Structures are given as structure tokens and as C-alpha cells.
Amino acid sequence: MQHDLQHTISLLARTPTALNALLRDLPETWTLCNEGEKTWSAFDVVGHLIHGERTDWMPRAKIILQSGESRPFEPFDRWAQERESRGKSLGELLDEFTRLRSENLSELRRLNLRPEQLELRGRHPALGVVTLSELLATWAVHDLTHLHQISRLMAHQYREAVGPWREYLGVLHCAGHSA
Amino acid sequence: MQHDLQHTISLLARTPTALNALLRDLPETWTLCNEGEKTWSAFDVVGHLIHGERTDWMPRAKIILQSGESRPFEPFDRWAQERESRGKSLGELLDEFTRLRSENLSELRRLNLRPEQLELRGRHPALGVVTLSELLATWAVHDLTHLHQISRLMAHQYREAVGPWREYLGVLHCAGHSA
């Protein structure tokens, strides 16, 4: 399946509502627990998604449109949420993510990107040359990789509670496939 | 983390709303595509969840309460949705899942299960002796295993479109861990 900008936007627009439906007011045993040292909770993931809205996707799209390969992207801080989410509630983070995503998608739609613009190139600090199309497709799959992570880390809390069914539940056998 | 019935119900109650937020009216390239032969689409998964509401969770809970280990559960048909979802739209399936889940949770709440009842035992046709507590915890983790699957199979559609970012996106390296 080729990248389709309208399909990407359809998915990106749904993530805040889906996370809100899943996580808001859920007991903290589901939302604040992680999978062990140096792993994230659902609370951490929402903070990470917020940081992406602020510093990753649209800022990088604008770098590609304005400077192409000549200006590499800023490296992304994968641990920024430890600092930025401090003192906030999960409800506040969900509200913030919803607002930022909505603003970013409004900006993306306003750009009214033409197919040839989607082929414009930028430079990732580690991956090298990438296209605007690849960046926008990655934005959507990045949402899905964190939905995948949230479902896994929540399931992890019941890994003992399910008893012998553990064998059948694929999510309990997933270690995350991190790079 | 021990099984906590109220936490289980909190999660079970959110799944229909979360799937609705994620999937309703999403382009069919996301909802009808699968990961290859003998794999499921999001449409198939919602059909499977419906079949579970009808034949698995509460029916098995009632067998435990009424007959204990003396009456093994009926084996679960993992492919029933091929037959039962035929001719329906995803929107219809989401409505049906929402209604059935709501009815089942009403019934579960009405049972007002005491801690000692959660330790009652039943007999799974393949796994052997299981407890009511394990069955109910599994109901919740089963939702999560399918949310994990849906995020993975949707991401799969963009596995080429993300270009070199593929390396960083754990969900694209997950093969499902099926038993």
C-alpha cells in the first residue's frame, strides 16, 4: 500500500479520541504502571506523543519544505516527557495531546500538499535522506506503535492473573521489538 | 498485580468506545486489509470479539458458577466471524459489539461476585483447571491482545511507506506471537 495523505490524516485525527476513550479515568494500576526499569507507562507514552506534536512531525515537515536536505532535523528527545509531564494529570496530558494534534492537522491541511511536494527530501540526523511522504506515513505508524505499546504494557499488569490462558495471549509474549 | 474485578470491568467497559473512536468511518484500506493469508483485518477482529461476547466470557463464567469443573467449557470457534460477519458493515459490527459488551457487563455487575466466588474452578477443554478470576482477567487481556493486533495489522499497510524509519518502529517488527 502506497502512502495516501488523506488516509494518514484520517488515522492521525482518530488517535487522541481513541486514547481518550481507552485511558481517561481508568484506574492508575493500568495507566501508571510500566513493564519494568527504563520502560514506559501509558502516562509516559501520552507525554511522548505530546513532545512529538511539539518538536517532531510538523516542525520536520516545515524543515523539508523550507530547507530540503540542507538542514538536518533536530534529534528527537525520547525522554523529554519525564521533565515535561511532571506534575500533570493524565487527563491534562490527554487534553494537551488532543489540542496539539488538532492544531497540527489543521496546519497540515492548510499546506494542501501536492503529490510532487510529498517527494521532497530532508535529512534525518541518523537515518539520512528521507522524503516528506515517508515522514507523514511515519507519523501515523508512530501512533500505532505506541498504541501497540500501550496495549502490551497494560496487559503486562495481568500477566499472572490470567493463569494458564497466558499461553494463548500473544500480547503477553511481545517484548516490544525496540531498535 | 493481582486480579481486581473493578479494574477488569473498567477496562472491559472502555474497549467498544476505543475501537469505535479508532475504526468507525476509517478508510477501508486500514480496516479491511490484513497481514496476508490466514490473517485477520480489523473487521475480522471486531467480528471475533462479538463471537466472544456471545459464546465465551459470560457463558463460561456461568458454567463455572453453576457446574464448576464437572462441565468443561464449549471449545471456542476462532473462525466463526467469517460466517457471522458476512454482509455486515464495520459500523454495524461496532454497534453490535458495543451492545453485547454492555449487556454482558450489566450481567456481570448484577452477579455481584464475592472474593471466594472468584476462586471457583472450571475446566477449559485444552488448558484444564482454571478459576473464575483467571477467566475474567483473560477477558480483559484478550481485548488488549486484539488492540495490539489491530495496531500491528494497520501499521503493516504502511510498512513500505515509512521508508528508513521502519527500523525504529517496533510495531513493524512484531509478528504476533500467536500460540
Mean pLDDT over B115-134 rounds to 97
In chain B, what is the straight-line distance between the N-terminal and C-terminal CA atoms, in Å?
24
Task: Tell me what pLDDT residue A1 has.
Answer: 79
Task: Tell me what pLDDT residue A6 has.
Answer: 97
Which run of H or E residues covers position B53? helix B42-55
Contact A108, A61 (CB under 8 A): yes
CA distances from A128 to A55, A112, A123, B167, B171 (A): 19, 26, 5, 13, 22
ipTM: 0.96
Check CB contact of B157 with chain A, cutoff 8 Å: yes
Mean pLDDT over B32-47 rounds to 95
Task: Tell me what pLDDT residue A115 has.
Answer: 96
pLDDT in tens, B49-92: 999 999 999 999 999 999 999 999 998 888 899 899 999 999 99
Please list, in sequence order, all residues whose beta carbon lies within 8 angstroms of the beta carbon of residue B43, skipping any fewer than 6 positions away. B31, B32, B85, B90, B93
B127 and A177 in contact by Cβ < 8 A?
no
Check CB contact of A174 with chain B, cutoff 8 Å: yes
B144 Cα to chain A: minimum distance (Å): 5
In the predicted structure, residue B10 carries a pLDDT above the cut 90:
yes
Task: Tell me what pLDDT residue A176 has.
Answer: 86
Residues of chain A numbered 127-156 and touching chain B (CB < 8 Å) = 127-128, 130-131, 133-135, 137-138, 140-142, 144-145, 147-149, 151-152, 154-155
Q: Where are the alpha helices (DSSP H) in A56-163?
A: 57-67, 80-84, 90-111, 115-118, 132-156
In the predicted structure, residue B179 carries a pLDDT above the cut 70:
no
SS3 B10: helix
Per-residue confidence at B108, pLDDT binned at 50, 70, 90? very high
Contact A151, A171 (CB under 8 A): yes
Tell me the whole-structure pTM to 2 decimals.
Answer: 0.96
| Cα four-point dihedral sign A145, A151, A154, A136 | positive
Contact B130, B3 (CB under 8 A): no
- The Cα–Cα gap between A151 and A56 comes to 24
Of A40-44, A78-82, A112-116, B132-136, which range is least confident?
Answer: A78-82
Phi, psi of B109 (to 5 degrees): -65, -40
Mean pLDDT over A135-154 rounds to 97
Task: Tell me what pLDDT residue B1 has.
Answer: 78
Average pLDDT in chain A:
96
**Shortest CA distance to A157 belongs to which of B112, B176, B10?**
B10
Per-residue confidence at A175, pLDDT binned at 50, 70, 90? confident
- The Cα–Cα gap between A18 and A24 comes to 10
**Shortest CA distance to A133 belongs to which of A114, A161, A159?**
A114
Task: Tell me what pLDDT residue B78 has.
Answer: 86
Cα B27 to chain centroid distance, Å, stands at: 22
- The Cα–Cα gap between B67 and B64 comes to 5
Average pLDDT in chain B:
96
Contact B127, B147 (CB under 8 A): no
In the predicted structure, residue A87 carries a pLDDT above the cut 90:
yes
In terms of pLDDT, which residue wins out, B25 or B176? B25
Mean pLDDT over A123-146 rounds to 98
Check CB contact of A161 with chain B, cutoff 8 Å: yes
> Of B133, B145, B158, which has the smallest distance from its Cβ to A3's Cβ?
B158
B158 vs A contacts (CB less than 8 Å) = 1, 3, 137, 140-141
In the predicted structure, residue A153 carries a pLDDT above the cut 80:
yes
Of A110-119, B16-25, B79-88, B140-149, which range is least confident?
Answer: B79-88
Per-residue confidence at A35, pLDDT binned at 50, 70, 90? very high
Mean pLDDT over A71-96 rounds to 94
- The Cα–Cα gap between A100 and A109 comes to 14
